[in-house]
Chain A
Amino acid sequence: MADAKVIPFDDDRSRARRRPSRADGEAAAVRALPGAQHGPEEPEGPGEGPAGAEAAGGDGREAAAGAGSGVGGDAGGRAGGWERRLAGGLAFLRRRVTGEYEVDEFGYDEELTDQVLMSLLRPLYEKYFRVEVKGIENIPDKGGALIVANHSGTLPLDGLMMQVAVHDRHPAGRHLRLLAADLVFVLPVVNELARKAGHTLACAEDAERLLRAGEIVGVMPEGFKGIGKPFSERYKLQRFGRGGFVSTALRAGVPIVPCSIVGAEEIYPMIGNAKTLARVLGIPYVPITPTFPWLGPLGTLPLPTKWTIQFGEPIPTDGYAPEAAEDPMLMFNLTDQVREQIQHTLYKLLVQRRSVFF
């Protein structure tokens, strides 16, 4: 019952967020018009003059139509928005080609992530996996937090989708900084993109540095055991490493947000593992799925499952003394608590799920 109340609220907010942007576009069109009007008065280059006049004429016609009907006004807004986006894109290109942008000490390129990398992942997030996000309000608006999630799906798409979810849905526009396996930083191209997207090596030093800087850090403590588990063991959480993430959160004094991801398990159903090949290639596993490697490149296409990402109630850690991080018993208990909470939420979400694909 409570869920039924929450979902429309969420929808409301996303609609409300979309509305002002359209109003912005209209305002831009109004602003663009004066500039367009004095367009024909500038007889510059022979190539530029006519094009400018044409654009101005087009705008003028649309604006005139807009005065008559509401539909035309919308079209004018779209043209203004398009022009503004072009200008923004060119300004972005200018900064890129001259190298005048900033990265942080982890190599995180916020501008590139916002403008390019997230836009590349968004179709996958919105259209392909149709990710439904619940409990985004459990991520604090300010300060650090450690998001602990289950890991599955042969390729770490779940981490990337979680990053898009936090980026697009969180009201404070927070960025998720993922902790990735060392394999990521060995591979060429992958390591470059991972660093630019704000990921860093899953080690206590990096995690603590990010948390102390007030960042939201995402970790998947199951690691390769989780992502490379056979299809028959889907949604069964594996061992949570050595629980280092709990002591890191404790030392930094940030809450732990458990996160359950449903849908990622079925994207590449792993029915076998070519262990010898994996050892030769030096990677943890080589998956064999019903489609891979039989269908060749087509087999690398993930199945279009319907995803749900639920962020759970935060578990506060600021009540513990600093030396509590050295207490193994407490660490094991807290690790178990986080693990249990994720597992229970997974079962609950699975019961609610209508089908794997819808």
Chain B
Amino acid sequence: MGRVVLVTGAARHLGGRFVRRIQRDPEVERVIAVDAVDPAHELGAAEFVRADIRRPAIAKVLAEHEVDTVVHMDVTGTALGAGGRASVKETNVIGTMQLLGACQKSPRIQRLVVKSSTSVYGSAPRDPAVFTETTAAKSLPSGGFAKDAVEVEGYVRGFARRRPDVAVCVLRFANILGPRAESPLTEYLSLPVMPTVLGYDPRLQFVHEDDVIDVLRLAAHEPRRATLNSGTFNVAGDGVLLLSQCARRLGRPTVPVLLPAVTWVGTALRTVGITDFAPEQIRLLTHGRVVSTVQMREVFGFSPRYTTAETFADFADSRGPGLLPPEMLAGAVDRLAGRLAPAATDSLHHGA
């Protein structure tokens, strides 16, 4: 008998993609897609149930459809459509509590997958350079999405204690990028001129949305041989990019701003409504964050198809050229080389 998978947050781009993908897997009999708003995209053969996970009605959905696998993807930083930060927080925290409460009551539940974020580690200068799953954050995120994620993970740990028979998998994703993924970070990277924090060049890691879908699929099924898919895992592409590298590869000029002024600019931009420059985003763009993916490779048994740099290249292609495209700058250097040392240009091209 096949499995019945319930996916929350199906009205979002990533949730919709996951719903469409997982119904093609042979182990899956039915997919129940849940969200509080109607999705704008196709969900294929999946059954869409319009339900708000903040209400106890979600327990009825679980029982009615005999769900045995729950993939909780409705932990996000931005509101879908109308609604401010308060409603996002409520969906993240209260929604998770209700959903977990419903799961605890349901005897059929065998597997729970939660999409979390590496922002639970925070970003501080006194942190080690690389976070592993067991690193305790030096300064816990004080607010915003990061704090929601910390609280969500706390409730999930409580659930795992109370229902040891359920396999629980928490996936901490690095910044998700892709041609169509949307987050505060992609909005920031799409600004024509990127404000940066003067004197800081944060290290960033990205994960491609295709890899996100694959990891979620692996976690939602039975573990493959010699792997274990319950527990907490960091998910990120290989390698690291500095913010300055990102800006140059995108071809966008940067404006370094003093740290106190950045907070002010962030508030100003938020008021005008151009971008949601939350304090946690500013901390990420000041101190950066890198996580270890050894557990993901060796225990979970997943190797991402895209490295951080490849993920970023894919994202950059989808965004179109900036004001200073790298090709133009490279051409300028080549012309300069031709002007200064004609003989040297040969070796430049051979060397490169």
Contact = CB atoms under 8 A, between A and B. Distances in A.
B133 interface: no
Contacts of B344: 83-84, 86-87, 90
A48 B342 contact: yes
Interface in B244-277: 244-249, 259
A201 B128 contact: yes
Nearest to A183: B125
B128 A206 contact: yes
Given A86-B340, A94-B334, A99-B247, A201 B126 contact: yes
Nearest to B324: A97
B239 A102 contact: yes
Contacts of B259: 188
Contact of A47 (B339, B345, B351): B339
Given A87-B337, A97-B329, A209 B240 contact: no
B40 interface: no
Main secondary structure of the interface of B (DSSP, over half): helix
Interface in A93-126: 93-94, 96-107, 109
Contacts, number: 135
A200 interface: yes
B333 interface: yes
Interface in A60-88: 83-84, 86-88
B246 A206 contact: no
A96 B333 CA distance: 11
B210 interface: no
Q: By CB atoms of chain A within 10 A, which of B245, B327, B336 has the most?
A: B245
A192 B352 contact: no
Contact of B201 (A35, A102, A192): A192
A134 interface: no
B333 A83 contact: no
A91 interface: yes
Nearest to B242: A103
A349 B89 CA distance: 64
B184 to A, nearest CB: 22
Contacts of B341: 55, 83, 86-87, 90
B226 interface: no
B212 to A, nearest CB: 21
Contact of A36 (B129, B240, B327, B343): B343
Interface in B123-174: 125-130, 132, 135
B200 A192 contact: yes
A188 B240 contact: no
Contacts of B346: 35
Contacts of A36: 343
A191 interface: yes
B338 interface: yes
Contacts of A189: 198-199
B348 A195 contact: no
B77 to A, nearest CB: 24
Given A39-B342, A87-B351, A206-B129, A97 B201 contact: no
Contacts of B128: 201, 203, 205-206
Nearest to B343: A35
Nearest to B345: A87
Contact of B333 (A51, A93, A101, A188): A93
Interface string B74-88: 000000000000000
B207 to A, nearest CB: 15
A49 to B, nearest CB: 10
Nearest to B346: A35
Nearest to B205: A105
Contacts of B340: 86, 90
Contact of B342 (A52, A96, A107, A203): A52
A182 interface: yes
A351 interface: no
B342 A195 contact: no
A292 interface: no
Interface in A8-38: 32, 35-36
A101 B249 CA distance: 10
B200 A200 contact: no
Contacts of A39: 342-343
A91 B343 contact: no
Q: By CB atoms of chain A within 10 A, which of B128, B135, B248, B345 has the most?
A: B128
Interface in B83-136: 125-130, 132, 135
B129 A91 contact: no
B219 to A, nearest CB: 24
Contacts of B126: 182, 185-186, 201
B121 to A, nearest CB: 12
A204 B167 CA distance: 33
Contacts of B283: none
B12 interface: no
A105 B291 CA distance: 9
B198 A188 contact: yes
Contacts of A105: 129-130, 203, 239-240, 290
Contacts of A55: 341-343
Contacts of B241: 103
Interface in B215-241: 239-241
Given A90-B337, A90-B341, A107-B201, 9 more contacts: A36-B343, A55-B343, A84-B347, A90-B340, A96-B248, A104-B240, A105-B239, A182-B125, A206-B130
22 contacts: A32-B343, A83-B341, A84-B347, A86-B340, A86-B344, A93-B333, A94-B334, A98-B248, A98-B329, A99-B249, A100-B249, A102-B239, A103-B242, A105-B130, A106-B130, A107-B201, A182-B125, A185-B287, A188-B198, A189-B198, A201-B126, A205-B130
The 9 closest A-B pairs by CB, nearest first: A188-B199, A99-B248, A87-B344, A189-B199, A98-B326, A185-B125, A205-B128, A99-B245, A97-B329
